[in-house]
Amino acid sequence: MFDAVRKLYAATDAARARGYGAGRFSFNVAGGRCETCQGEGFVSVELLFLPGNYAPCPTCHGDRYNSETLEITYRDKNIAEVLALSVDDAATFLADVPAAVRSLRTLREVGLGYLPLGQPATELSGGEAQRIKLATELQRAHRGHTLYLLDEPTSGLHPADTALLLRQLHRLVDAGGRVVATGTPADIAQADESVTAPYLARRLERT
């Protein structure tokens, strides 16, 4: 999905006038990123007699890009401002970008509408990382005959988000896949297509 955003900015008149390609809008390579923090948005701070810590980059202030790159805007937002949008807000902002619409819709369907687009992978919880992988898998054209192993995918989720997640797991099963998930018995026992549901339901009745 980020490829679509980078190409969107590279296609603007201002970017084309400067000769900026899509690579200019990647914070993983030199050129458009902030070199002080190398696109991380933060720097390591060494403290005397104390463990090291991290602080916002003093050059880009967490934006991850250099000032020249941030001068390029699409609908009055630079790329750092778009990456700061939540998935829900980005779905509205990028509604006319077909290449991004499907990915954003799937992320919302697995309950990640609150997540910032630019959230570093190192700051994702285990459950969020699993749901991002699930969203990626849901976008594949052919998913049949695949076994999916999920470790407590409903852990810490609000009941409404759990319902969203289980709905997407049903999609994988309907497409011919098999899902093995650990989690709270109540969540799994309520899934109509679960092969363990009858067993877990009986166990719940005894507790």
Full 3-state SS string of the chain = CHHHHHHHHHCCHHHHHHCCCHHHHCCCCCCCECCCCCCCCEEEEEECCEEEEEEECCCCCCCCECHHHHCCEECCEEHHHHHCCEHHHHHHHCCCCHHHHHHHHHHHHCCCCCCECCCCHHHCCHHHHHHHHHHHHHCCCCCCCCEEEECCCCCCCCHHHHHHHHHHHHHHHHCCCEEEECCCHHHHHCCCCCCCHHHHHHHHHHC
pLDDT, tens only, 30-82? 999 999 999 999 998 877 666 668 899 999 999 999 999 999 999 999 999 99
pLDDT at 75: 96
pLDDT given for residue 50 in this prediction: 66
Q: Pinpoint the residues of the chain covered by CATH 3.40.50.300.
A: 123-206
Cα three-residue angle 151-155-156, rounded to 5 degrees: 155
Q: Is the pLDDT of residue 118 over 70?
A: yes
**Pair 191, 169: CB distance under 8 Å:** yes
Q: Is 127 exposed, middle or buried (0-12, 13-18, 19+ CB in 10 A)?
A: buried
Condensed to tens digits (0 to 9), the pLDDT of residues 139-175 reads: 876 666 788 787 777 777 777 777 877 888 888 788 7
Percent above pLDDT 90 for the chain? 49
The reply to whether the predicted model has a pTM over 0.85 is no
Mean of the per-residue pLDDT values of the chain: 85
Query: Could you tell me the CATH superfamily of domain 2-84?
Result: ABC transporter ATPase  like domain (1.20.1580.10)
pLDDT score at 54: 85
Start-end of CATH 1.20.1580.10 domains in the chain? 2-84
Beta pairing partners, 178: 147
Q: What is the pLDDT of residue 156?
A: 72
Q: How far apart are the first and last CA of the chain?
A: 45
Question: What CATH number has the domain spanning 123-206?
Answer: 3.40.50.300
**pLDDT range class, residue 196, cuts 50, 70, 90:** low
In a 13 Å sphere around the CA of 33, the CA atoms on its Cβ side amount to: 16
Of 96, 87, 92, residue with least CA distance to 119:
87
Contact 115, 121 (CB under 8 A): no
